[in-house]
């Protein structure tokens, strides 16, 4: 039996090379960006993959220019605020979906699903007009509001799955122990659903961080523009030079938080996404 189950060296070789090809395909564009970000402006068109001469110039350039630092701060601020709002409201909504029977529950769940698959491009033009007339255009709230709207459904779905796994008798026990419904939620249910809240917070934050369409359509200056959108507005040192190096450096900078998040919370994100399907 053991001999049948063990992987032969040929199989190992086959799987290994297939994996290697996949990794190379995925990694080359990223490594290319990294390499570009370290090249001097004159060496951008240099055919060699790795820079002949490494420089931090692109990084120091973007990190001292307000066209990138301000959008980076916008990204962090807008992302955190939208995530907080979305997770707080989503946990309340998810609790209701998981625990309470109320009229319109199916409508709420269906509506949330509908919003999460809604083509965002179709909303850009109306949102633009609405935000212009409400003077929300090019402000933080102008981006936070649509981000919360699109982050909520995802968070509600993840959290509802978590709440459903918490035995209802715990809440009854808390009630008999003298807890008000709010105390039962904050002292018993919420701490137990904390992994779900962390998962949904990470996913919502990543969505906000990566979002480009609204960021570029609903802002006009660096006062509210987020980092991904700001990249598109980089200009070269002169009218005739393309800002390839700075763009590559900025792309690397905004990727770093995502890489850290994913590597730290990888297991949790996967378990959060599948928690409704498989009992853990």
Partner 1 sequence: MADMVLDQVTKRYPDGTLAVDKLSLDIADGEFVILVGPSGCGKSTTLNMIAGLEDISEGELRIGGKVVNDKTPKDRDIAMVFQSYALYPHMTVRENMGFALKLAKTPKTTINQKVEDAAQSLSLTDLLDRKPANLSGGQQQRVAMGRAIVRDPAAFLMDEPLSNLDPKLRVQMRLEVSKIQKRLGATMVYVTHDQTEALTLGDRVAVLRAGVLQQAASPQELYERPVNLFVAGFIGSPSMNFMSGTLDGDSLRTPLGDMPVSGSLRRELTTAGREVIVGIRPENFQDPALVSAEVRPHGITFQATIDVLESLGAEKYVYFAKDLGKVKFVTELEELAKDAGRADSGATSETVVARLDPATRISEGDDAQLWADTRALHVFDPATGRNLSVAAATKASGAGLTRGSAAS
Give me the residues that bind partner 1 (CB under 8 A), please. 167, 169-170, 172-180, 183, 187-188, 191-192
Smallest separation (angstroms) from partner 1 to the CB of 63? 42
C-beta of 130 vs 179, nearer to partner 1? 179
In the complex, minimum distance from the CB of residue 49 to partner 1, in angstroms, rounded to a whole number? 51
Say if residues 83 and 204 touch (Cβ distance below 8 Å). yes
Backbone torsion region of residue 81, taken as left when φ is above 0, otherwise alpha when ψ lies between -120 and 50, otherwise beta: alpha
In angstroms, the CA 199 to CA 182 distance is 23
Please state the closest distance from residue 193 (CB atom) to partner 1, in A.
Answer: 10
Q: Are the C-beta atoms of 16 and 224 separated by less than 8 Å?
A: no
CB of residue 107 to partner 1, shortest distance in Å: 20
**C-beta of 136 vs 174, nearer to partner 1:** 174
For the bound state, the minimum distance from the C-beta of residue 191 to partner 1, rounded and expressed in Å, comes to 5
Q: Between residues 32 and 168, which has the closer beta carbon with respect to partner 1?
A: 168
- The secondary structure of 16-46 as a DSSP string is HHHHHHHHHHHHHHHHHHHHHHTS-GGGTT-
Q: CA 93 to CA 170: how far, in whole Å?
A: 19
For residue 188, the minimal CB distance to partner 1 (Å) is 6
Closer CB to partner 1, 105 or 132, in the complex: 105
* Residues shown for the chain: 280
Cα 247–Cα 249–Cα 251 angle in degrees, nearest 5 = 70
Contact between 222 and 70 (Cβ < 8 Å): yes
Structure tokens, 173: 């026990």
- At closest approach, how far in Å is the CB of 165 from partner 1? 11
- Nearest CB to partner 1, comparing residues 102 and 240: 102
Nearer CB in complex with partner 1: 82/174: 174
- State how far the Cα of 14 lies from the Cα of 18, in Å rounded to an integer: 6
154/166 with CB nearer partner 1: 166
> Rounded CA gap, 39 and 54, in Å?
6
Q: Which is nearer to partner 1, 174 or 203 (CB)?
A: 174
Q: Quote the least distance from Cβ 153 to partner 1, whole Å.
A: 28
Closest CA to 90 of 156, 154, 150, 166: 156
Written as one string, the DSSP assignment of 67-87 is HHHHHHHHHHHHHHHHHHHHH
Yes or no: say if 41 and 242 are a contact pair by the CB < 8 Å rule.
no
Give the CA distances from residue 199 to residues 94, 131, 161, in Å, rounded to whole numbers and listed in that order: 14, 31, 12
């Amino acid at each position: 039996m053991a001999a049948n189950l063990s992987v032969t060296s040929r199989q190992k070789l086959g799987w290994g090379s297939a994996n290697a090809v996949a990794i190379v395909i995925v990694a080359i564009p990223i490594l290319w960006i990294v390499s570009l970000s370290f090249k001097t402006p004159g060496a951008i068109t240099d055919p060699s993959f790795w820079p002949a001469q490494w420089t931090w110039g692109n990084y120091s350039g973007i990190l001292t220019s307000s066209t990138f630092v301000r959008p980076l701060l916008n990204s962090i601020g807008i992302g955190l605020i939208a995530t907080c709002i979305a997770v707080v409201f989503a946990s309340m909504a998810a609790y209701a979906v998981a625990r309470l029977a109320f009229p319109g529950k199916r409508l709420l769940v269906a509506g949330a699903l509908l919003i999460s698959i809604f083509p965002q491009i179709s909303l850009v033009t109306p949102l633009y007009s609405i935000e212009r007339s409400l003077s929300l255009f090019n402000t933080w709230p102008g981006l936070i509001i649509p981000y919360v709207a699109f982050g909520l459904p995802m968070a509600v779905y993840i959290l509802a799955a978590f709440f459903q796994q918490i035995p209802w008798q715990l809440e009854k026990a808390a009630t008999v122990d003298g807890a008000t419904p709010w105390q039962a939620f904050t002292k018993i249910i919420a701490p137990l659903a904390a992994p779900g809240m962390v998962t949904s917070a990470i996913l919502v934050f990543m969505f906000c961080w990566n979002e480009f369409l609204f960021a570029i359509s609903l802002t006009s200056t660096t006062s509210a523009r987020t980092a991904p959108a700001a990249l598109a507005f980089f200009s070269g040192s002169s009218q005739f030079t393309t800002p390839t190096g700075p763009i590559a450096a900025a792309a690397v900078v905004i990727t770093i938080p995502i890489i850290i998040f994913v590597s730290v919370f990888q297991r949790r994100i996967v378990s959060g996404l599948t928690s409704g399907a498989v009992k853990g």
